Structures are given as structure tokens and as C-alpha cells.
Amino acid sequence: MAFLTSLIQKAFFKGVRSEPNSRWLRRAASQGDYSKFYIFREKKKIACYSLGPKDNLANEDEPIVLFSHPISKKAKFFFTDTERSLPYLNKGWVVFAFDYNGFGESDVIDLYYWKDVVAVLDYLKVQFPNRKIVLHGASFGAFHIIRAMEHLPPNSSVVLENVNKSLLSYWQRWPLTAILVRILLLIRARPVLDMNVRQVIKSFARPDMHVQFIACEDDALTTQVEMRELYEDLATTNKTFTVFAGAGHLAAPAKDPGLYQIALFGRGD
């Protein structure tokens, strides 16, 4: 398992484990009450931060937000750097983000990234009992929160922004890594088989939870057609699909900020 983890990290995720630069830190701190902390999984650290609304205006009756990052050197700071955090903070909600294991400031653990999500969720549920949670993932981060959705408290919600239907569909644009994924599937590598999110989606039965899909019309990596397939597979009827016309991958909030806020807090279109 250690060899496979090392191989995957080198082949798929070069340069993603690094200390945050000062600009990312300053930008996060400028948006609210910033605090860094760690939780532990398998006795190894997962680096996290919390970000509260400015002037201590946090609304203790409202949900808290957990962000799940895409493949990016920014890792957990992707959400403050792209200002995805601001719509939530402006409503008085506290937001949290974490580095997946092997990314950012987190230790390398294994390839079960959804277990990182569950570990952070378990921590938040202890710290904030009886609070709803918005679990918001982007791209790679959206894919890996799907297996963790069942661990959310009642009446929570999920945002799947630019998500793929399978591990192979994500990596098919990179021929060498796509070949490696096919080999791992062929030899039935357990961590890779564990990423069968469509099986999870097809059996997901939590009508108390709303699932919001955010798709971008001009996204060639997580296509609207592929996301529609995943949306149709989702067993629950409490779901919404919002398309951002003319937007590329992860460009929804920049393309149409108003519609983005409707998708987050309303019910899309």
C-alpha cells in the first residue's frame, strides 16, 4: 500500500504538498477571523483552517461550511483566493477548509481521500453539535466528498461544483495517467475501486439533504453531459442542476456571481 500511495502521489499530484505562500495567508486573513488547526487521521495530521465573519458577526443558528479543494498548489486556500468563501461569510456563516492528505500542509496517509473528509466532518460534528453543514467540493474535491455525504448531520446540504462521474473520466485528458488508472482498475487496486462514486450516488437516499450540482457550459474537463449523467443517477429527488453559460472549468462564480449565489442559497434553475 505504501508503494502504491507513493506511485500515485508522484504520477498524479506533483508539487501539491507545500507550505502556503504569504499572499494566500494574507488574503484568507483579510476575509475574516482566520485560525489554523490540525486534526489527526491514522495518527497523521490533516491541516485545516476556520474562517469566521468579520467583527464576530457569526450566526450560531446557521449552517457551517466545509470546503473540499480541487487539485491545486493552493489546496485549502483555493476557496479564499477565488473568494468562494465570501458569499458564506457575508451571510454570517463560519467556513472551514482542509488539505487532503499529501496536499498542502497535510501529511501523506493513503489514497482514501474520502476518509479525510469524514475525519474533518466528525471533528466538526463534535465541535458544533446539532448544526447543519454545507459540504462544498470543487472538481477533484467534489468527486471525493460523494462517499462522505452519508456522514453529514440531518438537513445538511452538498454542493458538487464541476464534478466527474468516475476516476477514469477525470484523468482521460492526460494519456499517461489515464493508462495508469486503467492498469490500477485492471488489477483491482482497492483504493481505486473504492472511488466508484456512481455506485454511491445510485444508492444515496437522504431526502433531508439537498444536493446542488454546478456545471459550466464550456468545461471540457467535467462536462455538462457527464454531470447530467451523475445527476440523473442520484437516487434522491432533493437535487438541483445549475448551468453557467459560457463558463469554463471552475469559472462559475467569476462568470455570473449572482447566479452563483442563487445556486448556493436558492434552488438554481
The pLDDT of residue 267 is 53
SS3 203: helix
Provide the residue range defining the domain that includes 208: 2-265
Q: What is the pLDDT of residue 4?
A: 67
The predicted structure's pLDDT at residue 237: 92
d(CA 75, CA 215): 21
Q: 208 is written with which cell numbers? A: 433531508
What is the model's pLDDT at position 182?
84
28: nearest Cα among 93, 90, 97, 102 = 97
Helices 2-12 and 175-186 sit at what angle, rounded to 10 degrees? 160
Cα three-residue angle 222-228-230, rounded to 5 degrees: 80
DSSP class of residue 144 equals T
Percent helix, percent strand, percent coil in the chain, to nearest 5: 40, 20, 40
Domain count, the chain: 1
Cell triple for 56: 464576530
Using DSSP's 3-state secondary structure scheme, residue 244 falls into strand
Q: If you search the block for the grid coordinates 501539491, which residue do you land on? A: 16
Ramachandran region of residue 104, left (φ > 0), alpha (ψ -120 to 50) or beta? left
Q: Please state the φ and ψ torsions of residue 247, each to the nearest 5 degrees.
A: -95, 140
CB atoms within 10 A of CB 6: 12
Residue 1 is placed in which grid cell?
500500500
Q: Is residue 84 a contact partner of residue 253, using CB atoms and an 8 Å limit?
A: yes
Q: pTM of the prediction?
A: 0.93
Residue-by-residue pLDDT tens, the chain, 269 positions: 666 677 677 767 777 888 899 999 999 999 999 999 999 999 999 999 999 998 766 677 889 999 999 999 999 999 999 999 999 999 999 999 999 999 999 999 998 999 999 999 999 999 999 899 999 999 999 999 999 999 999 999 999 999 999 887 887 777 777 787 888 888 788 877 888 899 999 999 899 999 999 999 999 999 999 999 999 999 999 999 999 999 999 999 999 999 999 999 985 43
Whether the Cβ atoms of residue 164 and residue 225 lie closer than 8 Å to each other? no
Q: What is the CATH number of the domain that holds 256?
A: 3.40.50.1820
